[in-house]
A and B are shown apart, each in its own frame.
Chain A
Amino acid sequence: MSVVICKDLVKRFGDSLAVDHVNVEIQNGEFMVFVGPSGCGKTTTLRMIAGLESITSGEIRIDAKVVNDVAPRNRDIAMVFQNYALYPHYKVSGNIGYPLRRRRVPKAEIDKRVHEVARMLDVERLLDRWPRQLSGGERQRVALGRAIIRNPSVFLMDEPLSNLDAKLRVQMRREIIRLQRVLGTTTIYVTHDQVEAMTMGDRIMVLRFGRIQQIGPPEQLYNSPANMFVGGFIGSPAMNVAAGRLEGSADGLTLVTRSGRLPLPPQTVARLGADGAAAGPREVMWGIRAEDIRLGPAPAAGGNGLDMRATVDLVEGLGSDAYVSLALSGDNIVARTPADARPAENETVGVQINANKLHLFDAKTEETLLS
């Protein structure tokens, strides 16, 4: 187990800046997930930690030791690759035992450890097969086995589940979580799938254009996104965002939307802080999650929210729930309702927004206005 620190990490490929001053500290035994869209620099950051990519500037420390110029083999880290990267000319047992063979561990000890790991990953019956004879899930288990056999101080995983089908992905996701809990090894996991990030990570680092957008536990990212990008990227369906204006009045602050006026509750005003709550109109972007919108008969009345009328565009059933796309005075928003309460398409419904769950972002910088 180790602490991994990236300090002012920069990576340039020619003129393009792939990683832009990344600062992060991954704690002992922590499961950290790097998430972001394609080309955001998450894999490049991981590869720099692995030592497979040179560093333009900055510093990487593993257990207080600067490892910028340390070869990958001397960093005591193991990596699982997206395409598994099993050695095709070695059998499963040879693949799992390979790191120990390189370290000149006695053969009897290697055999013992290979069987232990294979049992743990349920691949013992496959030990005598060639990688080409395995299914995707089995290959992934073997790749995991090769990573854990030598008890490295850090695991790096580069989108290890993206080549698996949906069902197997869920199963392997659980197994990786279980394995990490049992072994307690510091793990850095790269994915573009926010569901994987939310379900697996103790903390998540969201990246965009090589820059950190936010680091925090999944709940924090979901409930208090630092900016509009995080709000839109984390959560499925994506957060509904629309333009609005904050206006001060005798009663306090009011959010003026295309559909109506919404007085902000005191706790939201308190989170706005002195700058955000300053009197005078201010252009903002307001956001609301699908589950914080309630649908009812049109028009719904009362409650701590904004009552509006909307037309149902599309209903997508998920079994237990349904996503309802609504046309709301020029804005398109998605609400989540129980499947048995789903409205019909083209029906006019009442939309009630829970003002306590509103997210407010600066219209220009797109940064959150809530503390």
Chain B
Amino acid sequence: MKKINWVKWLSIVFFLIPMLFILLFPFIVMISTSFKTLREVSQIPPTFIPRAPTLENYREVWNIIPLAKHFRNSLFLGFGEMAIVLFLGIPAAYSLCRFRFAGRGPYMIFLLFTQMFPPVVMILGIFRLVAAYGLVDNLAVVAVIAASFNLAFCIWLLTGYFSAIPPEIEEAAMMDGHSRIGAMLKMTLPLSWPGLIAVGIFAFMDGWNEFLFSLTFIRTQEFLPLTIGLYRFNTRFQIQWNNLMTGAFLATIIVVALFMLVQDKLTRGMVAISEK
């Protein structure tokens, strides 16, 4: 008879399952609440499984707020921030990684230093600047500002990925007929794509979850992202938890679906790189 590994089973039962439950608890509550009525949500003691599950919240959320537009705006912010961060971050990180120039070390530290200011400290100054140029109510501006607060961190991340690629591979490509930029595009970028995807996802998530700048710079309903759209369920007199959780669930499911789409490739890419 096969011997039972008690240590393994005990650690699963007493450590992993409780841990998993703690981690998933907010998500379980979110999903459960999205199928409850507002009345049931405010009931004491609270119910874990809805007594009378309903899809009414989903219909209501769709009708009360322009969910499709909010989705579109959030996607714009997510992909916009991702594009800006990658477009500016790749050449910056590549230069910092491959070229030796005076002040390179202090500049890297300076980049980190820029990350130390919470955006809210600068929001007033930025608002005055944006208003002076008449750029209030412009989603692209929100994407640019949000990206600028993330860029330094992403450059640091990308520098790490690029450093792992031996420069001789690029030099060999340059001998074989590429320019430096060609060698970077054909060798370094394809070889560091798991890093690019990681940074891209990070930037996308930041854009998708963007709240502060949208709340400050966007006035028109038409341009509000999902985060601010859902904020409307937080009214002066009550929080409509059922609708809020339904919106939050819909917002989360998109990101989860996107991640699942690239996860397999991401893992395989990481394994391939580690085998080099």
Contacts and interface: CB of A to CB of B under 8 A. Distances in A.
B190 interface: yes
Nearest to B100: A13
B276 A73 contact: no
Interface string A74-110: 0001110111011111000000001100110000000
A52 interface: yes
B169 interface: yes
Contact of A89 (B175, B177, B179, B190): B190
A87 B169 contact: yes
A85 B169 contact: yes
Nearest to A156: B175
B175 A72 contact: yes
B171 A85 contact: yes
Nearest to B172: A85
Contact of B179 (A73, A78, A98): A73
A170 interface: no
A278 interface: no
A71 interface: yes
Count class of interface residues, chain A: 20 to 34
Given A85-B169, A88-B191, A89-B190, A72 B276 contact: no
Interface residues of B, number: 18
20 contacts: A50-B171, A72-B171, A73-B175, A79-B171, A79-B172, A79-B175, A81-B168, A81-B172, A85-B166, A85-B172, A88-B169, A88-B272, A88-B276, A89-B190, A89-B191, A98-B173, A102-B176, A102-B177, A102-B178, A132-B276
Given A79-B172, A81-B171, A87-B172, A103 B177 contact: yes
Interface centre among A50, A89, A103, A132 (most CB of B within 10 A): A89
Contacts of A85: 166, 168-169, 171-172
A77 B191 CA distance: 25
A312 B169 CA distance: 51
A317 to B, nearest CB: 40
Interface in A60-79: 71-73, 77-79
Contacts of A146: 172, 176
Interface centre among A50, A52, A77 (most CB of B within 10 A): A52
Given A83-B168, A87-B187, A88-B276, A77 B175 contact: yes
A307 to B, nearest CB: 55
Contacts of B141: none
Interface in B139-158: none
B174 interface: yes
B264 interface: no
Interface in B155-189: 166, 168-169, 171-179, 187
Interface centre among B174, B175, B190 (most CB of A within 10 A): B175
Contacts, number: 58
Contact of B174 (A72, A88, A89): A72
Contacts of A89: 190-191
Contacts of B276: 88, 132
Contacts of B174: 51-52, 71-73
Interface of B: 166, 168-169, 171-179, 187, 190-191, 272, 275-276
B165 to A, nearest CB: 9
Nearest to B170: A85
A50 B175 contact: yes
A86 to B, nearest CB: 8
Contact of A83 (B166, B176, B191): B166
Contact of B178 (A50, A73, A82, A86): A73
Contacts of B175: 50, 52, 72-73, 77-79
A83 B169 CA distance: 9
Nearest to B171: A52
A72 B175 CA distance: 5
Given A51-B174, A89-B191, 8 more contacts: A52-B171, A52-B175, A72-B175, A73-B177, A81-B168, A83-B168, A85-B172, A102-B176
Interface in A118-165: 132, 146
Contacts of B272: 88
A120 B172 CA distance: 21
Given A52-B171, A79-B171, A85-B172, A99 B177 contact: yes
B168 A98 contact: no
Contacts of B178: 73, 102
A99 B171 contact: no
Leading 8 A-B pairs by shortest Cβ distance: A102-B177, A85-B168, A85-B172, A99-B176, A81-B168, A72-B174, A73-B177, A79-B175
Contacts of A86: 169, 172
Contacts of A83: 166, 168
Nearest to A13: B100
Nearest to A149: B176
Contacts of B173: 87, 98
Interface centre among A71, A73, A99 (most CB of B within 10 A): A73
A135 to B, nearest CB: 15
A57 B171 CA distance: 22
A87 B174 CA distance: 12
A103 B176 CA distance: 9
A83 B175 CA distance: 15
Contacts of A99: 176-177
Contacts of B176: 73, 78, 98-99, 102, 146
Contacts of B191: 88-89
Contacts of B166: 83, 85
A99 B168 CA distance: 15
Contacts of A77: 175
A72 B174 CA distance: 6
Nearest to A133: B275
